[in-house]
Structure 1
């Protein structure tokens, strides 16, 4: 969705995962609703919805988890709930949403009531595969600035046994107006950040606003030249890439080397550099992140810029997988070897065209690359966060931190 200030983006931060913990999920939701100012009545509705969703997943899902996190923009903060499971799925989603239909043993309010309570509710389910459910709760009356759907969404999950994640994703809008972009950086950062190190869950931190500072703007790039093929098929290698007019959307995926607190520190440094930097092209952003990661263990990083005319500029270092995906095709985007912050060769930016009805998908090596366009074919018309959660369920492993970020062309 495009608003007066550009494509809609929402900050997404401080995730907390719950597995087989309905009481803990309800308690965390109640505390969170009070802290971010949802109001007593709205918080009670959030807790009621969490009770239905978490009890459902505990009693009837296979390998089910509930993710609770904060959404915000400069005007308001809300709560997003994502429920992901590996089966058995729903054969008839509309029937499951009708009043009077509730899983045996739940509180009995049913998914239809959850749908009415939430400001945004989305379900994707495939029998035998599993279900992804998304519910968002904002203070009422609903602020106009959060109406519609954000064009970027993602998800992170730490390796089994860890409470901090060394992966991160972040997105911001570049208007081409230095003053406007500086004002945007003064807003809460649009990112899903790893939990603080050491790994202590502090709900009050979910509402804290960080201090922003502007970086210096890189010199004007030289004219570009093009050649070559990428691993995804026809693309254009761009030297001295320049940002186009209008609202561009910059997206970064970062995988701190290894896992645990030290990997999280590296990804936090990358996210902070992305937020505060002045880079407008993927190469400029990558250079800023490279400088910020010196002294850390380094990271694999990929940066993309989505232009209003459908062009996608991409620059990647390390093993972040990236692709432009439709229901029938997957065009892989080419990254180059190296470790951002430690060893990085000459940067290369590739230009692609976003396919109609498609999406940009970037993920860390906490997901297998053995997924196909068919795995996303029924997901692509859902919100980016639901697509990301569905891909994590399909291809995620427990042997490493995992993250997925999905961006759609603004319409």
Structure 2
């Protein structure tokens, strides 16, 4: 059985960054979170630089720039992650843009270089005309190994909380992920999704179908949810998948192939005809993507050269930016075996 990581249900805070005042608010929020997590003063100083430069770049260069500040936990320590997302203009030469001295607005051009130096870990992907995604983490000590799975959620415009949630666990050698969409929006949907995450972590190791069955039984006191569980088994070369309701699951092959995974009709906690598990081939280098119906399947990874080689959080943020709909909660989780 996996324990619930402390603070896992804290999805962080999204900021729309369009003015210098908002950039300052991002920096203060990051510093406040770092203080709460107990990061040493020197690391808080590093984080302050990363936050200021990431938010400042959105103000100076970006279209529709947003930035997420959230805690991350791994290997017994807690850090702060920033995910900056924009819709243009993008960068054709990332290596040159990251180098100090390159600027498109007459500034000193040290922003991206400062982020790379001060962050414990960062990843960046950009496509001209589509935009840029930057993920950066600051940890109290040496950064842990990059995670094999990561997700993002965003609430419906005007709602303070999202009814979508995700979870990642590795128990008894099994790597499993959950994507959940609480029925409706707002607090009751969020409560259903939160309960699904708790049950996912508290249920002993088992196949995805057994986990979905447990989730269905345990969510009967909530308004219910669409949800799916995937298990990535590199040794067998398989993804094992089971789902109820409108959760989309896809295996993206390294050669550009795309294979959808089947979720059966139903609402976990309230109605189901059957729960069935399906197995799909998992090639080395393949990526598994799961998302709620707040994200549509219209985006094509082929339009983002090199994207599938980047960190799962960068892939998830790109999908959320270009395929997320504003009239619904939206959530994406991405996994790739190391």
**TM-score if structure 1 supplies the norm length?**
0.76
Task: For residue 139 of structure 1, report the CA deviation from its aligned partner.
Answer: 1.0
1:21-170 superposed matches below 5 A? 21-73=22-74, 75-102=76-103, 104=105, 109-140=110-141, 142=142, 146=144, 148-170=145-167
Larger radius of gyration: 1
Aligned to 1:274: 200
Counterparts in 2 of 1:102 and 1:121: CA distance versus 1, 3 Å: farther
Aligned CA distance change for structure 1 residues 36 and 406 (closer, same or farther; 3 Å)? same
Q: Which runs of 5 or more structure 1 residues have no equivalent in the other structure? A: 1-9, 176-246
The CA deviation string for residues 102-147 of structure 1, in whole angstroms up to 9 with x for no partner, is 453768542111101111111100000010001110113x16xx1x
Of 14, 17, 27, which residue of structure 2 is paired with 1:17? Answer: 14
Aligned to 2:4: none
- 2:333 is matched with which residue? 405
CA distance in 1, matches of 2:217, 2:317: 31
Provide closer, same or farther for how the CA distance between residues 108 and 336 of structure 1 changes in structure 2, counting only shifts above 3 A.
Answer: same
Checking the alignment, whether the CA contact within 8 Å between 1:12 and 1:71 is kept in structure 2 is no
Deviation, structure 1 residue 248: 1.5
Superposed CA deviations along residues 145-189 of structure 1, whole A, max 9, x for unmatched, are: x1x2111011111111112000000011121xxxxxxxxxxxxxx
Residues in 2 aligned to 1:64 and 1:288: alpha-carbon distance in whole angstroms: 40
1:328 and 2:256 correspond: yes
Matched with 1:294 is 220
Give CA-to-partner distance per residue, 1:277-332, whole Å, 9 cap, x none: 11411111111111221121110001111113121110011010001002511100
CA contact (8 A) 2:99 2:110 kept: no
Contact 2:234 2:282 in 1 (8 A): no
Change (3 A) 1:171 1:376: farther
Residues 356-371 of structure 1 mapped to structure 2, 5 A cutoff: 356-371=284-299
CA distances 1:191-238 after superposition (whole Å, capped 9, x unpaired): xxxxxxxxxxxxxxxxxxxxxxxxxxxxxxxxxxxxxxxxxxxxxxxx
Paired with 1:322 and 1:291, the residues of 2 have a C-alpha distance of 22
User: How far apart, CA to CA, are the structure 2 residues paired with 1:360 and 1:351?
Assistant: 13
Whole-angstrom CA distance in 2 between matches of 1:100 and 1:270: 48
Match for residue 262 of structure 1 among 188, 201, 224: 188
RMSD: 1.7
SS at match of 2:308: coil
Partner SS for 1:312: strand
Contact 2:88 2:130 in 1 (8 A): yes
Contact 2:102–2:108, Cα closer than 8 Å, also in 1: no
2:221 & 2:280 partners in 1: Cα distance?
33
Aligned to 1:236: none
The answer to whether the 8 Å contact 1:64/1:86 transfers is yes
1:341 corresponds to 2:269:
yes
Name structure 2 gaps, 5 residues minimum.
1-6
Partners of 2:176 and 2:230 lie apart in 1 by 6
Partner residue, 1:242: none
Q: Deviations over 1:3-62 (max 9, x none)?
A: xxxxxxx96843110112211101101111111111111101111111111011123211
* Aligned mate of 1:393, from 293, 297, 321: 321
Cα deviation, 1:325-357, whole Å, max 9, x if unaligned, reads 025111000111110000012111001111232
For these two proteins, the number of residue pairs brought into alignment is: 326
